[in-house]
Structure 1
C-alpha cells in the first residue's frame, strides 16, 4: 500500500482518521506528518481539518504544506480532503470576516446563516449542521465504488460549498440549501462529510482512496 501522509497542521484530532486508515489498509504506512519532510515519499496525501478557517489556513501555510500540496497535485498523487480540509481548497470563505483560501477549486465557502428555511416543526434549522445526511452521487468516481447512491454520511459544519453551478461537484446533499458533499478534479477528491465517522460506508470510501490511482 505504500506510505499515506495525514497532514497535521494543528487543527483537529487526527487519530480517528489515522485509525480508520489503519483499519482499511493495515499494510500501509500511515504517518501523521507535521512537516513536509515527514510527508516525503508519500503515495497519498490526506488533508483533514476541524475549526475556524483562518486558523486552518494559517497553520497549513506556516507548516509549509501549501507547496507540498501543489507539488502533489502536479505529480498526480491521490489527494483526499475532509471537512475544513475540503474548504481550504476553495477560492474564498465567508468565515472570520472573509478569508482567502488555496484557490485549487474556484467555488466560495458560504455561511448557512439566518436564511435557512423553517424545518418541519416550524423551527429554523440549527447551525452547525450536525448529523447524518444522504449523499447523491452526481457523477461516477472510483471513490464511490461499492457505495450505494444516497448512502448516509456524517456531517459537522457551519459553512458550506454551494452545489449549484459547481462544475467539480461529485456528490450533493441538502440542509436548507443544496450543498457540495463532495468535489473532485483529476487526482483530488474532497468531502464535506467525515468518512472516518461514517461507519462502514465511510470506511469503504477510505478503502477506495487507498487503492485509487488518482484517475477519475
Structure 2
C-alpha cells in the first residue's frame, strides 16, 4: 500500500482527514513539498475558508502547477473548499482562477434557507463514480458551506443534494474527484468514500 499525501498549503482541517485515513489503514503524509506529491500514490486537497485566499496560497507555493502535473498520473480528491478549487473559477468576493480541472465555476448558493448550509443532507448519485461504490441513493453526509460548484458538463457531476434547489455535491473528471461535503465527518458513509478513494491506485 502506497502513501496518500494530504496537501498542506495553510488552509484546511488536515489532521481530521489524516486521522480518518489512518483509521482506515492508509499511510498518509501531510505535506506541501513537491517531492512528496510526486511520490504519492494519491493526493487529498482539503480546504476551509475563502476561495480567493486558498487559491492565492496554492499559487504562491507553486502547488497549482504541481497538482496539474500530478492530476494526469494519480487520483486527487478535493474536499469542501478543496473541491471548489478544482473548478475554473470562484466568484467569492472577487473572481479568482481555480485549478481548472473541472470545467465550471463556484458561486454563492441560491436558496431560501439560511447560509452557511450546515448539517446532514442526502445524496443522489449519477455517472457511477468509483468513490461511491457500496453506497446507495439517500446516503446522508455532512456539509458546511455557503458556496457551491456549477459544473459546465453534466458528465462531471457525480452526486447532487438539495438545499432548496438542487446543488452539486460531488464531481469527477478523469482522475480528479471532489466532495463538497466532509467525508471525514460523515460517519460510516464518509469512511466508505475515503476507503474507496484510497483503494483507487492500489
DSSP 3-state at the match of 1:153: strand
Conservation of the 8 A alpha-carbon contact between 1:171 and 1:180? yes
Matches for 1:138-149 after TM superposition, within 5 Å: 138-149=126-137
- Deviation of residue 143 (structure 1)? 0.9
- Deviation of residue 140 (structure 1)? 1.2
Map of 1:121 onto structure 2: none
In structure 2, runs of 5+ residues without a counterpart are: none
Map of 1:212 onto structure 2: 200
Task: Show CA shifts across 1:45-71 (max 9, x none).
Answer: 001100011110011112221122111
Task: Show CA shifts across 1:142-174 (max 9, x none).
Answer: 111111221000000010113685330000011
Structure with the largest fraction of strand? 2
Conservation of the 8 A alpha-carbon contact between 1:138 and 1:169? yes
TM-score by length of 2: 0.94
Instruction: Give the number of equivalent residue pairs.
Output: 202
Residue 94 of structure 1, aligned match among 91, 103, 125: 91
Conservation of the 8 A alpha-carbon contact between 2:142 and 2:186? yes
**Bigger-Rg structure (1/2):** 1
In the superposition, relative to structure 1, how do residues 146 and 5 fare at CA in structure 2: closer, same or farther (>3 Å)? same
Q: CA separation in 1, counterparts of 2:151 and 2:137?
A: 17
Map of 2:32 onto structure 1: 34
Q: CA separation in 1, counterparts of 2:32 and 2:77?
A: 17
In structure 1, runs of 5+ residues without a counterpart are: 118-124
